Amino acid sequence: MNKTVSLLAGAMMSLGLMAGANAATLKMAYDADPVSLDPHEQLSGGTMQLAHMTFDPLVRWDRNLGFEPRLAEKWERIDDLTMRFHLRKGVKFHSGNDFTAKDVLFTFNRLRTSPDFKGIFAPFAELKVIDDYTIDLVTNKPFPLVLNNVTYLFPMDSAFYTGNDANGEPKDKLVKHGNSFASRQLSGTGPYVVSERQQGVRVDFTRFDNYWDTNSPGNVDEIVLTPIKEAPTRVAALLSGDVDFIAPVPPTDHKRIVSNDKVDLVTMGGTRIITFQMNQERVEAFKDARVRQAVAYAINQEGIVKKIMRGFATPAAQMSPEGYLGYNEALKPRYDLKKAKQLMEEAGYADGFTITMMAPNNRYVNDEKIAQAVASMLAKINITVDLKTMPKAQYWGEFDERAADMMMIGWHADTEDSNNFFEFLTACPDTDSGLGQYNSGNYCNPEADKMMHEANSETDPAKRAAIMQKIEQMLYDDAAYIPLHWQNLAWAARKGVNVEPVVNVMNFPYLGDLVIEE
Amino acid sequence: MIAFFIKRLAQAIVVMFVISIISFSIQDNLGDPLREMVGQSVSEAERQQLRDELGLNDPFLVQYGRFVKNALQGDLGTSYFFKEPALDVILAKLPATLELVFGASLIIIFLSVPLGVYSAINPQSLFSKAVMGLSIVGISVPVFLTAIGLIYLFAIELNWMPSYGRGETVDMFWGWESGFFTADGLAHLVLPCVSLASIMLPLFIRLIRAEMMEVLQSEYVKFAWAKGLNPRRIYFLHALKNTMLPVITVGGVQIGTMVAYTILTETVFQWPGMGFLFLEAINRVDTPLIVAYLIVVGAIFVITNTIVDLVYGLVNPTVNLAGKK
């Protein structure tokens, strides 16, 4: 942290202490701290959590997956391709600079150079600045997810990030693995200023005195974020009163937290789907839809959720969680062993066959145990599974090589939209367009792909929903992959720390609005 | 003496060289560092490009050659995660680990000597038997279990001790932040030090007891008894001094081992030291940091062994350091 910034922060901190009649400090522990202060360096949960504390997006998701105006006060569609945003006036950056349309343009251009974020902003042709407080976002073709995608547009302070740093490098340079200005300095419009940061040890935040959102009920003046990697230690820190707020909370500790009268547990159905894919290129039998269906009938999602996840997940029969446009109510988990055996027989595989399976062992909640359960369920229809699990660091390499016949993959749609699942997980693999990048099954259904493209340019939500629900139905009937469950989310906090209203399904708690009762 | 140092230095260089080759050749099996740097929707082409920029697509020998060339100038690479020279990152975390090891060593020294001597002198007493029984338990319980048990009892149930971290530290010199000079820092040290000590303490009690019992049987002790010397003088001056020789040798080796054991202790207590850093680096596939850590820990082993050899010479003048006959 540079000296002036820490001095500034120190001054602000003492100001805050003097002024704060109901000054409150939140000590919180996540499993990791943000990798960088540069909001465009990595598209990850940690970055988004940091962005929502120190920046504001143009619009943000509310609890019902609707949109809430932030730096854009209102917006309207001008034509098929253009959406006009009216920006909030009187907003200050941490540096003291005023927020205007040029900052939005600066950020938009920078996002389009970020390897992680450029995909989200690819549908946009340009951003036109109409005046200081009006911008037009123009898309290449009619695009239904303009608002979804601008939840990723957190305007950065263009004046602050312009010029060269002490090393002679441009301040706005986006470096993935280096010591850049933007990875260590930050000026946003958000509720908190980073006052001190020791990577991997702690990050201190101080409330921004000139925060524009004076209607926010938030009363937390200081936040100390400590990464605590080990789940038992994290839980112990909360129970012993060393921290006020923790996330994530492992399912094994839920009972202990619920039974403790000093802390509260908040859970919510999540949107990350856990699936298995069956590789048709490696295994001839998986080309036969009946065999895939047999596998689908042999898997007991409810059993996995109950026994392994201890109820901390929602059994799934499709990828879209409830609340997404593509969520198809009619699709239900279909565990039926008799039917499964019958289908195997019809397909001529009554005696079964042997396959290999791979899953990570530290990526998803209970991933290894889930894979073991699935393997033993498949044994009942005479499919012998040779299972290998490994740490995520090694797993992704194997996944890219499609190294096993069945592979586990979990997915969260960055756009909070069903089409994102189809594009990455079930579309016909195509290295040029990047579609089907995580479709290790090589499942390919041209008709579903056609509908997916159609949904991408359909701006009428009702029609889009109908198309995407139909895709879910097709994938279900075809048993394109094996859905298991959506992982739930959990947070735990000391009583009096009202986290419930600020947490959300994306797992970016809006800590600016957090209220601590004394 | 000088010849001894030169010999040691040459050995150290060979050791470092071997460690660097081994750690460099296993790094390909640790996973893909790019995966930890980019989001999941980044395309393979983008990742290849980044890999090229990082030089990860170069042949092994080219990468290793580049590493050795930089290492000779004191640059062990730049950590992907911390974006700082790997050596700086590790050295910044070294004090926390050394303080932990130091605290644990104090516990071991001040408990193992009296307990070991007592149970050697009074092998039949109930207390000795209890100490021996407990030491079996201590040696068999894995350190992370001890640590979690301690947290559960003293942090959650009794609420006497903090559950994680280093607490308040004071700046010493060269960026050394110490937890030994504040009440809060000391409170944070207790549980991690006890857990770390729990592995080695039983070993040392048993070692001192066994050595002491052997020494007490020796002729010169019998002679001392016959001479009618004060028992205290016999036990603590004559017998203990000879007991300590093998203890120092084992102790030197074990200090290195203890640095390695800090990986577990630090992880459970979220102790911001080197061991925790190393485990995190493995999870993040931060290969430059992993390689640098192995080299630094190798250096610590070499240094502690050298010191042990020197101390050994002081305690036992018959040992010839340079190995001349």
Say if residue A3's pLDDT is above 50.
Answer: no
Taking a contact as any Cβ pair under 8 Å apart, which residues of chain A between 15 and 74 contact chain B? 35-36, 42-44
| Average pLDDT of span A97-101 | 95
Give the best residue of A197, A233, A263, A399 to mutate against chain B (max B CB count within 10 A).
A233
Domain limits at B152? 93-274
For the segment(s) A7-54+190-262+495-516, the CATH number from 3.90.330.10, 1.10.3720.10, 3.40.190.10, 3.30.830.10 is 3.40.190.10
| Region of poorest pLDDT, from A105-114, A180-189, B199-208, B295-304 | B295-304
Q: Are A201 and B82 an interchain contact pair (Cβ–Cβ within 8 Å)?
A: no
Give the per-residue pLDDT at A23: 67
The tens digit of pLDDT for each residue in A293-317 reads 999 999 999 999 999 998 889 999 9
ipTM score assigned to the predicted complex: 0.74
Q: How far is CA B160 from CA A256, B106, B147, B274, in A?
A: 20, 21, 15, 27
A42 min Cα distance to partner chain B (Å):
5
Domain range annotation of chain A: 7-54+190-262+495-516, 59-150, 269-488
Which residues on chain B are in Cβ contact (under 8 Å) with A395? 31
3-state secondary structure of A422: helix
Which residues on chain A are in Cβ contact (under 8 Å) with B45? 431
Say if residue A20's pLDDT is above 70.
Answer: no
Q: Is A379 in CB contact (< 8 Å) with chain B?
A: no
Residue B103 located in a structural domain: yes
Chain B residue with Cα closest to A47: B39
Q: Is A394 in CB contact (< 8 Å) with chain B?
A: yes
| Region of poorest pLDDT, from A49-58, A78-87, A93-102, B258-267 | B258-267
Homologous superfamily (CATH) for A59-150:
Dipeptide-binding Protein; Domain 1 (3.90.76.10)
Say if residue A8's pLDDT is above 50.
Answer: no
Q: Are A241 and B159 an interchain contact pair (Cβ–Cβ within 8 Å)?
A: yes
Q: Please indicate whether residue A518 or residue A499 has the higher confidence score (pLDDT).
A: A499
| Average pLDDT of span A128-142 | 94
Which residues on chain A are in Cβ contact (under 8 Å) with B42? 43, 115-116, 119
Which residues on chain A are in Cβ contact (under 8 Å) with B283? 362, 391, 393
Q: What is the pTM of this model?
A: 0.81
Instruction: Compute φ and ψ for A235, nearest 5 degrees.
Output: -65, -40
The tens digit of pLDDT for each residue in B138-178 reads 888 888 888 888 888 888 888 888 888 887 777 777 767 77
Residue A510 belongs to what H/E stretch? none
Give the per-residue pLDDT at A343: 95
The tens digit of pLDDT for each residue in A347-397 reads 999 999 999 999 998 889 899 999 999 999 999 999 999 999 988 878 888
Residue B30 located in a structural domain: no
Which residues on chain A are in Cβ contact (under 8 Å) with B270? 226-230, 233, 237
Whether A59-150 and A7-54+190-262+495-516 are alike in CATH topology: the answer is no
What token pair was written down for B263? 């990986």
| Average pLDDT of span A484-512 | 92
Determine the Cα–Cα distance for residues B320 and B325; give it in Å rounded to an integer.
8
Give the per-residue pLDDT at A11: 45
What does DSSP say about strands A82-87 and A134-139: parallel, antiparallel, or unpaired? antiparallel
A–B: how many Cβ contacts below 8 A?
A: 129
Say if residue A7's pLDDT is above 80.
Answer: no
Q: Is A262 in CB contact (< 8 Å) with chain B?
A: no
Q: Is B190 in CB contact (< 8 Å) with chain A?
A: no
Provide block-wise average pLDDT over 10 residues at a time, chain B (325 residues): 80 84 80 75 78 81 85 84 87 89 91 89 87 86 87 86 81 75 85 89 90 87 85 82 82 80 87 89 86 86 80 70 49
Say if residue A9's pLDDT is above 80.
Answer: no
Q: What is the CATH number of the domain that holds B210?
A: 1.10.3720.10
Say if residue A241's pLDDT is above 70.
Answer: yes
Q: Are B32 and A391 an interchain contact pair (Cβ–Cβ within 8 Å)?
A: no
